Amino acid sequence: MVGGEPGIGKSTLLLQVSGMAAAQRGSVLYVSGEESPAQVKLRAERLGVTGDGVYFLPESDLTQVLEYLESDSFALVVVDSIQTLHVADVIGTPGSLSQVRECAWRLERWAKQSNVPVLVAGHVTKEGAIAGPGTLEHIADVVLYLEGESMSSYRVLRGEKNRFGPTNEVGIFEMESTGLTDVENPSEVFLSAYREESVGSVVVPVLEGSRPLLVEIQALTSPNSYSPPRRIASGVDFNRLLLILAVLTKRAGLKLFGQDVIVNITGGLRITETAVDLGIALAIASSFTERGVVSGMVALGEIGLSGELRGVPQMERRLSEAARLGFRSCLAPGLKSDSAALCGGMRLFQADSVVEALALGLLKGS
Ligand SMILES: Nc1ncnc2c1ncn2[C@@H]1O[C@H](COP(=O)(O)OP(=O)(O)OP(=O)(O)O)[C@@H](O)[C@H]1O
Ligand SMILES: [Mg+2]
């Protein structure tokens, strides 16, 4: 199951995969109840999918699809999308919960019986789940989400569930006119607009799956004494932002209650790791105090309620990525002095609390 918001690129991904599977594994059946043959042909031409071995079936009646599947043997079946399929003997319009669930069950049964993988596209509802929480995610063996910001051309394919392997691997792609292409050096891309010493901006080496990746966290605080202050978190967890704001207010004495606070991860990434806590705190404090962040520095650490900092796993891998991209120092808790050698000779600033970290990480005000 490949889920994603409308227009994010599900059909593009599935068509590219179809082309690759046809070249390597044998014939692929591409079932679309959504788009006409002409539309799909246009896209295939644009993506450079030749069509050799890819068979197109414009059909939304699942009974017909299953009948057609008996007529030939396929290495892969692609269904775009589950919401357009329907069966006659179940009440409800296509896309309704009962239809989606029944169609998914029948496809799953067919896949298990015939031992042919079935790739299904699913639209994500407003609540962020494919057709109601828990319906399709339970039926599918693997659930992937294609995500990204509408204004950014980068897409992240994230594993949500995998019955055959780990889910912590992510794919990072760029949407081009020729389709989704692999991003070789994601850190460079996500940092391309980063300027050193800018106020309210901090770079954090996060782990996306098993690979280290540098992301830029931006924060903006602006006074607001008329309405309740707003907090906007894009790319980071909202509750985490509230916790960090509370710690900054209470432990570091920053008077943030009369301030709107906006935090953003550039490039449309979504980071769930708590290792970004310190970066968020530093970016907010930098914007609020109008003091720049020490140049060439990355920051890492989880923040606890009493303002203490906790270490993050796999420090060496993160720091070598930072060093590779020209960063020269790191602010983090629990650093061992001998790890400097392992981290490409980076200068290490050790801080055990948010207060210490702000003193070390922010330039002296003018
Ligand atoms: N010529 C083009 N050059 C670059 N990008 C394009 C081009 N045409 C389409 N795209 C990209 O492809 C996206 C649409 O991709 P696709 O149709 O695969 O999405 P989808 O998730 O299947 O959408 P839907 O929910 O409508 O089925 C567009 O939002 C756009 O970003
Ligand atoms: Mg589509």
Alpha carbon distance 362, 249 (integer Å): 17
pLDDT at 69: 93
Is 148 near ligand 1, meaning CB less than 6 Å away? no
**Do 266 and 218 contact (CB within 8 A), yes or no?**
yes
Q: What is the pTM of this model?
A: 0.80
178: Cβ–Cβ under 8 A, 6 or more apart, which residues? Answer: 46, 47, 48
Substitution site in 11, 120, 174 for ligand 1 pocket (most atoms within 8 Å of beta carbon): 11
Q: Are strands 259-265 and 211-223 parallel, antiparallel or unpaired?
A: antiparallel
167: confidence class by pLDDT, cuts 50, 70, 90:
confident
What is the percentage of the chain residues whose pLDDT exceeds 70?
A: 94
CA torsion, points 331, 332, 333, 335, in degrees to nearest 10? -90
Could you give the strand order of the β-sheet that contains 201-208, starting from the edge strand earlier in sequence? 231-234, 259-265, 211-223, 201-208, 297-299, 329-332, 347-350
Q: Are strands 2-4 and 142-147 parallel, antiparallel or unpaired?
A: parallel
Q: How far is the CA of 78 from the centre of ligand 2 (A)?
A: 12
Is 150 near ligand 1, meaning CB less than 6 Å away? no
Q: How far is the CA of 14 from the centre of ligand 2 (A)?
A: 9
Nearest alpha-carbon partner for 259 in 229, 233, 301: 229
338: confidence class by pLDDT, cuts 50, 70, 90:
low
Radius of gyration of the chain (CA): 24
At 69-112, the pLDDT tens digits run 998 899 999 999 899 999 999 998 888 888 999 999 999 999 99
What ligand has the least distance to the C-alpha of 9? 1
Taken in order 299, 300, 305, 307, the sign of the CA dihedral is negative
179: Cβ–Cβ under 8 A, 6 or more apart, which residues? Answer: 12, 15, 16, 46, 47, 48
pLDDT at 337: 62
Alpha carbon distance 244, 302 (integer Å): 10
Is 205 near ligand 1, meaning CB less than 6 Å away? no
133: confidence class by pLDDT, cuts 50, 70, 90:
very low
What ligand has the least distance to the C-alpha of 80? 2
Q: How far is the CA of 117 from the centre of ligand 1 (A)?
A: 24
At 188-240, the pLDDT tens digits run 877 877 777 789 999 999 988 778 889 999 999 999 988 999 999 998 999 99
Prior bond to 36 cis, omega within 30?
Answer: no
In ligand 1, the atom with minimum distance to the C-alpha of 121 is 22
Q: How far is the CA of 146 from the centre of ligand 1 (A)?
A: 12
Instruction: Please give the backbone phi and psi of residue 257, each rounded to the nearest 5 degrees, phi first.
Output: -70, -25
Mean pLDDT confidence for 119-131: 74
